[in-house]
Structure 1
Amino acid sequence: MRVLQVCAEIFPLLKTGGLADVAGALPLALRPLGADMRVLLPGFEAILNGLEDAAVVAELHPPGGMHLARGARLLYGRLPRCDLQAYVIDAPAYYRRGGGPYDDHGDNHLRFGLLGWVAAALAQGLDGFWQPEVVHAHDWHAALAPAYLRAAEQALHRRLARTVYTVHNLAYQGMYGAQRFGDLGLPGHFYGVQGVEFHGHVNFMKAGLYFADRITTVSPSYAREIQSPEQGCGLDGLLRSRMMSLSGILNGVDPAVWHPATDAYIAAPYDADHLDGKAACKAALQAELGLAQDPLRPLACVVSRLAEQKGLHLVLQALPRLVEAGGQFALLGSGDAWMEAAFRELAQAHPQAVSVRIGYDEPFAHRLIAGSDVILVPSRYEPCGLTQLYGLQYGTLPLVRRVGGLADTVADTRLETVDQDATGFVFDAFDADALVWGARRALALYRRPADWRIVQQRGMRQSWDWGGPARQYLQLYRSLSH
């Protein structure tokens, strides 16, 4: 089965979040199952620099207001660092800019509209040597692909490739003023309630949700939650109307990238049966961060965007109490400026107990998770979450809120569950007191080393690789061809 994955970033070439990890790992997991996988990406500089043996597939002549892309080229070649074959849109005026890949200079609707249009063009035979049977679009950046495909089908009066649209975070929808619709070159009747219109705006994500044959999101719990007004971000009605086409498939972890037995970034290798290396990783991390080098002090970490959604303002409120209780804390992330400043102030006030590093550093993220005892993920909502899965893999017990993929992947530890299914700590209320209560339970277990090791080893022995999710996606693709 020929499958085209459409996305805006891919690990290890370009990463702003978990989407890149999924985009890099899922095609590799599908390939051994018999899927003929190719990816379509915008020609950001980091992606073009990773493309080898590139050949020009076609000159691009997109519709509407995409004037800057006219004369741009679609390239096809290899991404050796990803081990994938890829189409890359070489449109310098759109993608070769300074700053982040999603920085908006007033034309993001065109930059990512082009991505969807090219996906639909490939499904119509733009590459005479390969034509996808399924187009799998990820998040709002690729959400117009199903819309452009439906428009082409209406014009040609025949079905083309089937479409799957995956929501990674419903809160980021790609919203633009109504006046932008004409720039996209879609049929006029697509601007309506049964189409891309949303309260007088163009909504990319709504287009994906409305026009795709099947919708997935990245955990079963999140698939249920987004059908409610509380977490539906205004699209819950549409999602309820499409509930028979909506499913949740948990993300996986690529063991070639995230496994403590083979991780070249960490101070010492270890696994569930040989945990001495984890103690060495903790000692090395405490030394690197200038924290008090005490193996008996529990060390909690956060690797995250600094945003209200992630619940990190709760961490700010709880942290003085956790330090007072004897804990240490280390953070890697960036985001809201006030939050960055507040974490820096706490680190300055408690230099032996708190360390904060603003930004993102992939090797340091590995060292941080391997060397910590607990990883905090107190999110308001969490479609899937990957850091808690990394924590489980590395014997770093997750402390999470019972929401979305966190609820699907972490089993709470209580006295009666230590010997049963416990893998971490779960709390319910979205407030600092609930977080502190969960942290105090973690501290109590940490003081019982034998029980701690039982829970730690159980989490490490679970399988979170991409094999299971890939089989579910392949079954979904095949169901569309019947």
Structure 2
Amino acid sequence: MKIVHVASEMFPYVKTGGLADVVGSLARALARKNHEVTVFLPGYRSVLEHPEVEPLLRRTRRLRIEMGDMFMTGDVRVFSPAPNLTVHLICREEFFDRKAPYGNGERDYEDNHHRFIFFCKAVVEVMRLTNLDADVVHGHDWQTGLLPLLLRATEQRHRVNLAMHTVHTIHNLAFQGLFPMKSFYRTNLPTELMGIDGVEYYGQASMMKAGILFADRITTVSPQYAEEIQTSDYGCGLDGVVQLRADDLLGILNGIDTDTWNPATDALLPGNFSAADLGGRKLCRSELLKKAGFDPRFSGPVFGMVCRLTEQKGVQLLLANRAFFERENVRLIVLGSGDGLLEEGMQELADALPDKVYFRKVLDEKFSHLVEAGSDFFVMPSLFEPCGLNQMYSQAYGAVPIVTRVGGLIDTVTDIDDEPADGTGILIEPTAAGLAGGLERALDLRMDRAAYDAVQQRGMGRDFSWEKAAEVYDAFYEELGA
């Protein structure tokens, strides 16, 4: 089967969040199943200069892309990181030679709509010029929402068949690619698509809405999230649009890359371990405490948190529980960056409680692995969570997750009170009081060492691998008739 994935991120080449992990892991898993997999990415400078990319990179062709009433040029560069897997980079320095994919940290780039209209158009043009003839073209999030429309428009214009089926995956409905309607002319699509039955959304153009309405099938990243986005509470204003496509919507749970996230083989850890032999985990715990400036011999509960510092991730709920960390003999280690006010709040808490709280405001892949491997509990109080990966990492690494009853967290964590014989973590309501109760339950669990060990063992025994998830995608693609 020829499968094309189109995305704005792919681990290990460029990553701002879970999207990159999903695209990188799923593409490789499908390639291992002997599918012919092609991935299209923007040619960010960081990708072009990545040490795993630069030696393999070759330029294949020059592109001339129609953008409204003008043409823009770009280059295509290609590399093959694994058997059956080819990555095409769409390059144009004006759009992609920047420090970050979407913005400068304070705000999004003002020309993001032009950047990703160009990207989607270039993907379609490469497919046409190379006669790629895909069985499935699978776009991810708003950055690729125009793909189904652009594919079909190009097929009609040039009388070719570029893709048998199109799929659009919603990774996070909160990010919708909303832009001024006047920018729609850059697409060169029919003007009737500018209406309410097309891309229009309250006077703006929505790329996410385009993907939802015009892809053959829609997926999300967990079964629970597929249900939630059809409601006004979690639909982010597009719940009505999602409901229109409910029969074509499927929630497929993400997996984790067990080549990268496996405590038995993880080269980023000071000691490896497994459910059968936790000796290396003790070393990881000591090293984590040491790097955070704490006594490595500390024997009390260690709480870890790794996330983007945003309201979605519930960081404000953690800050609201300051009294717990002032009162209890525990340690809290937080890694993350994002919203300036939340960064200030975390830093103030760490400065006020230097003997209990450590905060690192630098994205650090190695340290994030150590937090998972050395913490007793992993705190993830998200207000909403389409799937989430850290709660799966934490279980694989022996840290008991404390998570909210939302989205993929419900699908991947079993509450120890709801199901005592099968519980793998602590589920809470997404409120400050809910987190307060979860932290107290964690202390109680840690006091009963046998009970804690049993929960830890059950979590480490769960199979969250992408090989399992890829089987579901295999069946899904077959159902499409590919």
TM-score by length of 1: 0.94
Matched, 1:406 2:426: no
Could you tell me how far 1:147 is from its partner in structure 2?
1.7
Q: Tell me: CA distance 1:116–1:285, structure 2 relative to 1, closer, same or farther (3 Å).
A: same
Given that 2:120 and 2:147 are in contact with CA atoms closer than 8 Å, whether structure 1 keeps it comes out as yes
**What is the match of residue 222 of structure 2?**
219
Looking at structure 2, the residues matched to 266 and 77 of structure 1 have their Cα atoms a distance apart, in angstroms, of: 30
**What is the match of residue 122 of structure 2?**
118
Looking at structure 2, the residues matched to 66 and 163 of structure 1 have their Cα atoms a distance apart, in angstroms, of: 28
Q: Please, which moves more after superposition, 44-53 or 295-304?
A: 44-53
In the TM superposition, 1:315-394 aligns within 5 A as 315-394=318-397
**What is the match of residue 88 of structure 2?**
87
Looking at structure 1, the residues matched to 130 and 347 of structure 2 have their Cα atoms a distance apart, in angstroms, of: 51
Could you tell me how far 1:203 is from its partner in structure 2?
0.5
**What is the match of residue 76 of structure 1?**
78
Given that 1:375 and 1:399 are in contact with CA atoms closer than 8 Å, whether structure 2 keeps it comes out as yes
Q: Secondary structure at the match of 2:305?
A: strand
Looking at structure 2, the residues matched to 153 and 194 of structure 1 have their Cα atoms a distance apart, in angstroms, of: 22
Looking at structure 1, the residues matched to 7 and 344 of structure 2 have their Cα atoms a distance apart, in angstroms, of: 33
**What is the match of residue 138 of structure 1?**
140
* Gaps in structure 1 of 5+ consecutive residues: none
* Gaps in structure 2 of 5+ consecutive residues: none
- Kindly tell me the number of residue pairs found equivalent between the two proteins: 475
In the TM superposition, 1:70-469 aligns within 5 A as 70-79=72-81, 84-103=85-104, 104-123=108-127, 125-128=128-131, 130-155=132-157, 160-161=162-163, 162-414=165-417, 417-418=419-420, 420-428=421-429, 430-469=430-469
Looking at structure 2, the residues matched to 452 and 66 of structure 1 have their Cα atoms a distance apart, in angstroms, of: 64
Q: Please, which moves more after superposition, 308-317 or 154-163?
A: 154-163
Looking at structure 2, the residues matched to 251 and 413 of structure 1 have their Cα atoms a distance apart, in angstroms, of: 23
Looking at structure 1, the residues matched to 10 and 84 of structure 2 have their Cα atoms a distance apart, in angstroms, of: 11
Could you tell me how far 1:283 is from its partner in structure 2?
1.1
Q: Tell me: CA distance 1:159–1:199, structure 2 relative to 1, closer, same or farther (3 Å).
A: farther
Q: Secondary structure at the match of 1:335?
A: coil
Could you tell me how far 1:90 is from its partner in structure 2?
1.7
Q: Secondary structure at the match of 1:164?
A: strand
In the TM superposition, what whole-angstrom CA distance separates every residue of 1:354-398 from its partner, at most 9, and x where no partner exists? 000002100010111111011111111000001101000000000
Could you tell me how far 1:189 is from its partner in structure 2?
1.6
Looking at structure 1, the residues matched to 68 and 275 of structure 2 have their Cα atoms a distance apart, in angstroms, of: 56
Given that 2:253 and 2:387 are in contact with CA atoms closer than 8 Å, whether structure 1 keeps it comes out as yes
TM-score by length of 2: 0.94
Could you tell me how far 1:165 is from its partner in structure 2?
0.6
Given that 2:224 and 2:410 are in contact with CA atoms closer than 8 Å, whether structure 1 keeps it comes out as yes
Could you tell me how far 1:77 is from its partner in structure 2?
2.3
Q: Tell me: CA distance 1:363–1:66, structure 2 relative to 1, closer, same or farther (3 Å).
A: farther
Q: Secondary structure at the match of 1:221?
A: helix
Q: Please, which moves more after superposition, 228-237 or 28-37?
A: 28-37
**What is the match of residue 14 of structure 2?**
14
Given that 1:25 and 1:466 are in contact with CA atoms closer than 8 Å, whether structure 2 keeps it comes out as yes
Q: Secondary structure at the match of 1:166?
A: strand
Could you tell me how far 1:346 is from its partner in structure 2?
0.9
Given that 2:166 and 2:217 are in contact with CA atoms closer than 8 Å, whether structure 1 keeps it comes out as yes
Q: Please, which moves more after superposition, 265-274 or 217-226?
A: 265-274
Q: Please, which moves more after superposition, 388-397 or 291-300?
A: 291-300
Looking at structure 2, the residues matched to 475 and 155 of structure 1 have their Cα atoms a distance apart, in angstroms, of: 32
In the TM superposition, what whole-angstrom CA distance separates every residue of 1:424-452 from its partner, at most 9, and x where no partner exists? 00012x22111010111111010111110
Q: Secondary structure at the match of 1:306?
A: coil
Looking at structure 2, the residues matched to 166 and 52 of structure 1 have their Cα atoms a distance apart, in angstroms, of: 31
Matched, 1:36 2:24: no
Given that 2:102 and 2:109 are in contact with CA atoms closer than 8 Å, whether structure 1 keeps it comes out as no
Give the letter aligned to residue 424 of structure 2. Answer: T
Q: Tell me: CA distance 1:152–1:191, structure 2 relative to 1, closer, same or farther (3 Å).
A: same
Q: Tell me: CA distance 1:66–1:131, structure 2 relative to 1, closer, same or farther (3 Å).
A: farther
Q: Tell me: CA distance 1:345–1:290, structure 2 relative to 1, closer, same or farther (3 Å).
A: same
In the TM superposition, what whole-angstrom CA distance separates every residue of 1:48-100 from its partner, at most 9, and x where no partner exists? 22244444443222222495x722122222247x9941111121111112344
Could you tell me how far 1:293 is from its partner in structure 2?
3.5
Q: Please, which moves more after superposition, 27-36 or 385-394?
A: 27-36
Task: Name the Cα RMSD after superposition.
Answer: 1.9
Q: Tell me: CA distance 1:51–1:139, structure 2 relative to 1, closer, same or farther (3 Å).
A: farther
Could you tell me how far 1:322 is from its partner in structure 2?
3.5
Given that 2:65 and 2:73 are in contact with CA atoms closer than 8 Å, whether structure 1 keeps it comes out as no
Give the letter aligned to residue 114 of structure 1. Answer: F
Given that 1:261 and 1:269 are in contact with CA atoms closer than 8 Å, whether structure 2 keeps it comes out as yes
Could you tell me how far 1:38 is from its partner in structure 2?
1.0
Looking at structure 2, the residues matched to 116 and 24 of structure 1 have their Cα atoms a distance apart, in angstroms, of: 19
In the TM superposition, what whole-angstrom CA distance separates every residue of 1:244-268 from its partner, at most 9, and x where no partner exists? 1101111111111011111111121
Looking at structure 2, the residues matched to 470 and 322 of structure 1 have their Cα atoms a distance apart, in angstroms, of: 41
Given that 1:397 and 1:424 are in contact with CA atoms closer than 8 Å, whether structure 2 keeps it comes out as yes
